[in-house]
Structure 1
Amino acid sequence: MQHPSLPLGRHYDIDGRRLMLHRSGNGGPTAVFLAGSGLMSLDYLNIHHRVAELTGSVLYDRAGNGWSDPAELPRTAAEVTDELQTLLRTAAVPGPYLLVGHSLGGAYARHYARRFPGEVAGLLLLDPFHEDLVVRAPLAARERLNRMLEDMRDQELVELTQEQIQQSRVQMAPHFAAWPEPVRKPLIERHLATWRVASQENQNLYDKVADEFRRAPDTPDVPLIVLSAMGHDATQAHLWPEELLREINESKLALHAELAAETPRGEHRILDDAGHGWLHEERPDGVLQAVNDLLRRQSSAR
């Protein structure tokens, strides 16, 4: 597959695949961003630049996404975390790492820390996916969720028409207006070229991957902050009926509190004015404050 040229970063050869990694800043521990499903490395570029004023910061695309080579999707959490470990070593990114994981990337960050605890200095989980979100929902909500998830899995991903692509391009432009000009157009075009990835990556999320997360070792005793986004999210509002979304969010809040309690140095913070998909853009101050706090706690623990 022919890749468009990278607007930033470079490719590293990992087990026969080229993976994109971009780094900025100096110092440690190095912040490593793990993108949510449907997003990619450069969606976090603005917050990455601000984190890089505090410490070293890394963006990357896991295989099958963004500017990295394709992979057969879905994948296991072990594959994703093994790949990240190899990439960081190959790119000579010094550890230990402050893993900043968003949504599904938050679950992968937590899994990385549980598998490789000696490599992780702290965890910042941005409205993370939790493996028990469906099974812990109230019974009526659980049944509706399962039906809707099955419908999504069975939905055929048809080719977009040129008219639909152009409409999407126009709709995305205002959102990405805050990105640097050299990145803006390539990022929009990459989203249009890889729009199927989120659905493909999520195919086994609530069965095989969820079971992987449940069987993992305990979360290590590292500084940990969980940010819950409880504000309006346009994508979620489109996908889920209002009543069901309210029940999902109530379950999510309880699960996030439990995540924070997995380590003695865990903390749960709620952002009432940010949505799930773009909390790092809607509340960058909240993300930066959490990064600052984790860096201070890690430093004081030395």
Structure 2
Amino acid sequence: MFLMTAAIAHAEARDANSVDGRFDIGGRFIQLTCLGAGAPTVVVDAGMGTAPAEDPGWRVIAARVAEHTRICLYDRAGLGASDAAPERVRTSADAAADLRKVLEEAKVAGPYLLVGHSIGGLHAQVFASLYPEDTAGLVLVSSTHPDQIVTWLSVLPSPVPDEEKPVTEARNFLTAMAKDPAKNEERLDFKASAAQARAFRSLGSRPLVIATHSVNYRMVPGLSEPLAVKLEAATQAMQRDLLARSSRAKQNISRTAGHGLPHEDPAFVVDNILEAVGMARK
């Protein structure tokens, strides 16, 4: 009888904490989906162009995490069911402000364990810097580093006639990303956002879990192997650098999955999130 009563109580708690809708954050609406029960509340900020509330990969991850604690999937402005922002150019600080406002409007109490994949990791770092009292910890999943574009460009050789086409394409892509927000689908000013993320110094003793893609991942298809290895070594070094942001930091590296960890190895992402949940509860 006690076990049955406890199970019913747990199910009722999960239902009471469920959220699925669009919330007004000041004349425009942002989609937020939450399920599960428990603290800390995990909040997912996905990669460029990804709306996690509708994304099959993130929904699978959320269902597994919800068995242990509350988790929320947040669609940034202009993605999924969220309205576009009026600004022509956006920054990580804008994304962080939207997230904080929609959580407030949905009455989802913090502090939050932020999970950021790729560019979402840069936004999560800025959120932690701007709203430290609302941040229980971070899980950075193959996260963008503030110095990422500058570092990658420094690894690529100087332009020469008849260079490999992948080198030219990679240099042109990174240069455009750094200079022109119109070159990405969310109109993100990467240079300004990176500067905002550099202001993030420390979580103190709050947990930080770095979930890194495999060292065998190759960012630029067709690039010569020596240069590809050098580029990945620089990326792995930046991932290790993020560990300095907390006195309770841990890095886990996937054996096989590339940058698309949430879809290539969702179990790995779940394990990293639950590890951070356990650290936060201690």
Report TM bin, short chain.
0.7 to 0.9
In structure 2, the residue matched to 1:211 is 195
Distance 1:18 1:245, change over 3 A: farther
Amino acid at match of 1:24: L
In structure 2, the residue matched to 1:47 is 61
CA contact (8 A) 2:115 2:124 kept: yes
Which consecutive residues of structure 2, in runs of 5 or more, have no partner in the other structure?
1-18, 159-166
Which consecutive residues of structure 1, in runs of 5 or more, have no partner in the other structure?
1-7, 156-195
The answer as to 2:155 corresponding to 1:134 is no
In structure 2, the residue matched to 1:112 is 127
- Return the alpha-carbon distance in structure 2 between the equivalents of residues 90 and 210 of structure 1: 28
In structure 2, the residue matched to 1:225 is 209
**TM-score calculated relative to the size of structure 1:** 0.74
1:96 positional shift: 1.2
In structure 1, the residue matched to 2:25 is 14
The one of 186, 209, 218 aligned to 1:201 = 186
The answer as to 2:159 corresponding to 1:148 is no
The answer as to 2:140 corresponding to 1:125 is yes
The one of 63, 70, 74 aligned to 1:56 = 70
Amino acid at match of 1:125: L
Q: CA RMSD in A?
A: 2.7
In structure 2, the residue matched to 1:24 is 35
In structure 2, the residue matched to 1:285 is 267
CA contact (8 A) 2:213 2:259 kept: yes
In structure 2, the residue matched to 1:246 is 229
Find the residue that maps to 1:131 and give its secondary structure.
coil
Find the residue that maps to 2:115 and give its secondary structure.
strand
The one of 108, 132, 151 aligned to 1:93 = 108
1:117 positional shift: 1.2
In structure 2, the residue matched to 1:76 is 91
The answer as to 2:277 corresponding to 1:295 is yes
1:9 positional shift: 2.5
In structure 2, the residue matched to 1:268 is 251
1:28 positional shift: 0.9
Q: What percent identity do the matched residue pairs reach?
A: 33
- Return the alpha-carbon distance in structure 2 between the equivalents of residues 266 and 17 of structure 1: 37
The answer as to 2:241 corresponding to 1:258 is yes
Distance 1:153 1:257, change over 3 A: closer
In structure 2, the residue matched to 1:161 is none
Amino acid at match of 1:210: A
In structure 2, the residue matched to 1:191 is none
Distance 1:294 1:151, change over 3 A: closer
Number of aligned residue pairs: give it: 249
- Return the alpha-carbon distance in structure 2 between the equivalents of residues 137 and 101 of structure 1: 21
Q: Deviations over 1:208-251 (max 9, x none)?
A: 221222234534431111011126769x444x735454333211
Find the residue that maps to 1:124 and give its secondary structure.
strand
Distance 1:31 1:151, change over 3 A: closer
- Return the alpha-carbon distance in structure 2 between the equivalents of residues 142 and 272 of structure 1: 29
1:36 positional shift: 0.5
Q: Deviations over 1:79-119 (max 9, x none)?
A: 11111111101101111111111000011111111211111
**TM-score calculated relative to the size of structure 2:** 0.79
In structure 1, the residue matched to 2:14 is none
In structure 2, the residue matched to 1:67 is 81
Q: Which has the larger radius of gyration?
A: 2
Q: Deviations over 1:106-164 (max 9, x none)?
A: 11111111211111112111000011123234735175554332357899xxxxxxxxx
In structure 1, the residue matched to 2:118 is 103
CA contact (8 A) 2:44 2:114 kept: yes
CA contact (8 A) 1:19 1:61 kept: yes
CA contact (8 A) 1:34 1:99 kept: yes
- Return the alpha-carbon distance in structure 1 between the equivalents of residues 50 and 62 of structure 2: 14
